[in-house]
């Protein structure tokens, strides 16, 4: 995992868009974004480490998502566009990357700048509920990820708007980050 400020230069969203300004894991943690490195080649398998994090954070369910042109067919471009729209969720978004790669962009508070997080196999990333973010593949054009959920699997995006700014999960996220600052 590597994090940095997005350069905001127009162009293909799958490119690095690296401003040259790095973002530390400490800064990500202050925004509620958590990261663990659990190598795919872990002796005895990565499952036990993922299970330990899942137990610690009360994740009860999981599934696997495979985003590829071949796997999604005609829905590929539509799905990528929807993933890249700025939105929030009322649940944490938890991904353990099994193959491929992509980018999660999260909005920094209070600057509202994009922080780009490049995720690779072995990265376990938690995006907190209430944070504005978006996702895209990188130039590999594929990602396979284990998704973890506290309750039943769901993925309900709430696109950014004045109404979404008043969403109780957004309000609580802003309050918690502001209080920690």
Q: What is the DSSP string of 92-132?
A: -EEEEEEEE-EEEEEE-TTT--EEEEEE-TTEEEEEPTT--
Rg (CA), the chain: 16
List of residues 6+ apart from 70 with CB closer than 8 A: none
Q: Based on the number of CB atoms within 10 Å of its own CB, is 19 exposed (0-12), middle (13-18) or buried (19 or more)?
A: middle
Tokens matching residue 174 = 């802003």
Tokens matching residue 140 = 């590999």
The residues with which 118 forms a beta bridge, in sequence order, are: 2, 103
List of residues 6+ apart from 36 with CB closer than 8 A: 49, 53, 123, 124
The residues with which 88 forms a beta bridge, in sequence order, are: 158
87 annotated as ligand-binding: yes
89 annotated as ligand-binding: yes
Residues of the binding site for Fe(2+): 87, 89, 93, 133
> Would you list which residues are annotated within the binding site for Ni(2+)?
87, 89, 93, 133
Query: Which residues are documented as binding site?
Result: 87, 89, 93, 133
């Amino acid at each position: 995992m590597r994090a940095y400020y997005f350069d905001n230069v127009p162009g293909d969203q799958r490119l690095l868009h690296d401003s040259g300004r790095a973002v530390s894991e400490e800064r990500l943690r202050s925004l509620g974004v958590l990261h663990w490195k659990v190598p795919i080649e872990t002796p005895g398998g990565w499952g036990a480490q993922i299970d330990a994090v899942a137990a610690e954070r009360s994740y009860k369910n999981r599934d696997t998502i495979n985003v590829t042109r071949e796997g999604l067919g005609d829905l590929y471009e539509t799905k990528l566009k929807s993933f890249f729209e700025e939105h929030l969720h009322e649940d944490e978004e938890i991904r353990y990357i099994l193959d491929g790669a992509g980018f999660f962009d999260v909005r920094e508070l209070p600057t509202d700048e994009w922080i780009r997080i490049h995720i690779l196999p072995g990265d376990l990333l938690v995006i907190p509920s209430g944070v504005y973010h978006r996702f895209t593949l990188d130039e590999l054009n594929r990602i396979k990820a284990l998704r973890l959920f506290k309750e039943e699997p769901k993925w309900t995006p709430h696109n950014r708007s004045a109404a979404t700014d008043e969403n109780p999960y957004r309000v609580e996220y802003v309050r918690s980050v502001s209080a920690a600052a």
